[in-house]
Structure 1
Amino acid sequence: MTTITECCAERAAESKKEALALKYFGRNKKLYTDMAECVSRGAAKILYAGRDGVLLYEKSSGIHMLASEEKAAAKRILETLDENSLRERSGLLVAHGENARAAAYEMLNVEGETACFQVVYCSKEPRALRGMLSFRKPERVEIETIKKEYHLESPENIEKLCAAGQIWCGVTGEGEFVGFIGRHPEGSMGLLQVFPEYRRRGYGEELECFMINVFLSEGRIPYGHIIENNSKSLNLQKKLGYEVADEKVYWLFEC
């Protein structure tokens, strides 16, 4: 049975890890925004935090995240990771920067990757909406449409996100469902899609502005991961005032 003293000691150790992690993230705030937000909203289990880097996993998704500027340090940190636990939780590791990526390839059984730009909305000012859409949580028929149209999350994850209130529909004044946006399981903004017949009307920008304001209203920093070859999306983020981290983040699969 855990005693009060043991609980206090455990909490003190966790608080120390959080402080070390947040201090490390300050070295490159844009690159590590996703990890810092994970810690600040209490969603992180910090496995390692020190002067040479941070390793954590996001509790609800099980996705692991690694920050380390030096390849040798990243390898030492990954030595502390139970690879079976990684595989059981999600099989996903997000490596921040090229050196962390290279270390993961040497230390883990990586079978594939998706390279992304991390974009961060650094302003605290909400975006002005043009009033062309109203926003609401999806109903059953719309959930089925989202599951059919969006392929970067599993149907099961989309169901969970909808149940948790993390996906919003954009609807015109005439009641037309034109697209959707939301928050991925690990906390990043995304799931943006405008149906083909409604594109080039500014609806994607309006959906993003709405979602930026949702993040800001919660005291969160809006951020997202843009797949490196998606130049249209990256240009939209820049137009809306997002800043791009100076290194990429790498989603590594089947670790």
Structure 2
Amino acid sequence: MKHKQLQPSIILSLVAIAFFIRGTISSEPIMIGVGILILILALSRAFLILKLSDVDLDDVHYDDAIAKILKSDEVLYVEMLETYRKGDSKILYAEMDGILLYDEKDDTYHAMTINEEAAKDMVKMIPQDYHSLIAYDAITEAIFEKELTYNEKLYYYNYVYQKREELPLINKEVEIRQLDDSYLEVIKRHYSVKSLASDTYLLERIKAGMLGAFIDEELVGYVGRHPSGAIGMIEVFEAFRNQKIAITLQSAYINHVLEESDDVIFTQVDQANTASDHIQMKLGFVKADKKCCWYIR
């Protein structure tokens, strides 16, 4: 794989040498200069590939080359950055023109690129029976759309809470409690993302920590966290909507994360969910400029 990734650098080096030789023979300084510039580009590219290929996932350095690329837009790439930072991912492709990670914990592929050639190389590394895949740009999405099959496709925006301040709970009548597996059936019944509403997945999320909103001892909504670390799974039961329960639940979970860890706090919102977008803005989240495309098999 490393040899294949180095092939463009080798070709660039040969082109650079050709420019240099021709410029020397014909005494053309401009051509010699172009050759030198191409050679510098080729060597820089090869160095980056070799450096990224040697990253040890058991000792991930947050400031290495991959992290620096992803940190160029920390809000857009927040999920990809977090799974890499925590050492949960395998590096399948890492060059200046793109990155492909496989999150073993979440069984999800993460892909970003700046050209079609890289996207075409990446798609060959993804099995047709993949579980979940996220494309972070339109170029990657267009190539994956042609080459991969899927059962469901969702567009969403990433939002990051960059403060370290706890939030007030707006609805004072709601009591927030930790949920246990005795609430599995009611959680499953109300969870809107049916492709994720399996007993196994929901029990894992309950164990990881889900909070419920109660009014007069009755569960009226809940919030949780996906394996990636994204706050989500927010559901408010129909009879109790428009009472600011959703924003109260999310505020409570943000406070919970702040108390328990120093994790980056982020969430994801479907592009059509204007109500949730309004909540994120009100809570002080920063929204990504571009949307992501999530494929589910």
TM-score, normalised on structure 2?
Answer: 0.72
Q: Which residue of structure 2 lines up, in the alignment, with residue 143 of structure 1?
A: 184
Residue matched to 1:96: 136
2:252 maps to 1:210: yes
Give the number of equivalent residue pairs: 238
Q: CA RMSD in A?
A: 2.4
Aligned to 2:204: 160
* Correspondence for 2:296: 253
1:52-131 maps to which residues of 2 (within 5 A)? Answer: 52-79=97-124, 81-84=125-128, 87=129, 90-110=130-150, 112-130=152-170, 131=172
Aligned residue in 2 for 1:5: none
Aligned sequence identity (%): 24
SS of structure 1 residue aligned to 2:208: coil
Residues in 1 aligned to 2:188 and 2:218: alpha-carbon distance in whole angstroms: 18
- Residue deviations 1:153-181 (CA, integer Å, cap 9, x gap): 2222112211x233221224x32322100
The answer to whether the 8 Å contact 2:60/2:87 transfers is no
**C-alpha distance 235-12 of structure 1, shift in aligned 2 (>3 A):** closer
Deviation at 1:111, TM superposition (A): 5.5
- Alpha-carbon distance between aligned partners in 1 of 2:86 and 2:119, rounded to the nearest angstrom: 25
What does residue 219 of structure 1 align with? 262
Runs (5+) with no aligned partner, structure 1: 1-9
Instruction: Using the TM superposition, give the Cα deviation of residue 136 of structure 1 relative to its aligned residue in structure 2, in angstroms.
Output: 2.6
- Deviation, structure 1 residue 229: 1.2
Q: CA deviation at 1:140?
A: 4.2
In 1, distance between residues paired with 2:274 and 2:110? Answer: 25
**234, 242, 247: which one pairs with 2:285?**
242
Aligned-pair CA distance for 1:206: 0.8
Deviation at 1:238, TM superposition (A): 1.2
- Residues of 1 paired with 2:140 and 2:258: CA distance? 30
Instruction: State the partner residue of 1:21.
Output: 66
Paired residue type of 1:210: A
CA 160–112 in structure 1, closer or farther in 2 if over 3 Å, else same:
closer
Give unmatched runs, 5+ long, in structure 2: 1-52
Cα deviation code 1:98-129 (max 9, x no counterpart): 12211212343356421111122122222223
Tell me: CA distance 1:74–1:182, structure 2 relative to 1, closer, same or farther (3 Å): same
Structure 2: distance between partners of 1:243 and 1:204 = 18
Q: Is the 8 A contact 2:169 2:252 kept in 1?
A: yes
Out of 116-125 and 244-253, give the one that drifted further.
116-125
- Is this contact kept in 2: 1:17–1:46, CA < 8 A? no
SS at match of 1:124: coil
CA spacing shift, 1:183–1:73, aligned 2, 3 Å: same
Residue 141 of structure 1 and its aligned partner are, at CA, apart by 4.1
Do the aligned residues in 2 keep the contact of 1:72 with 1:103 (CA within 8 Å)? no
Change (3 A) 1:248 1:82: closer
Q: Distance in 2 between matches of 1:224 and 1:129?
A: 18
Structure with larger RCO (C-alpha < 8 A, sep 6+): 1
- Residue 37 of structure 1: how far off its partner (Å): 1.2
**Equivalent residue number for residue 240 of structure 2:** 198
Task: Report the CA distance shift for 1:105/1:140 in structure 2 as closer, same or farther (over 3 A).
Answer: closer
Partner secondary structure for residue 192 of structure 1: strand
Q: In 2 relative to 1, CA 112–143 (structure 1 residues): closer, same or farther, beyond 3 Å? A: closer
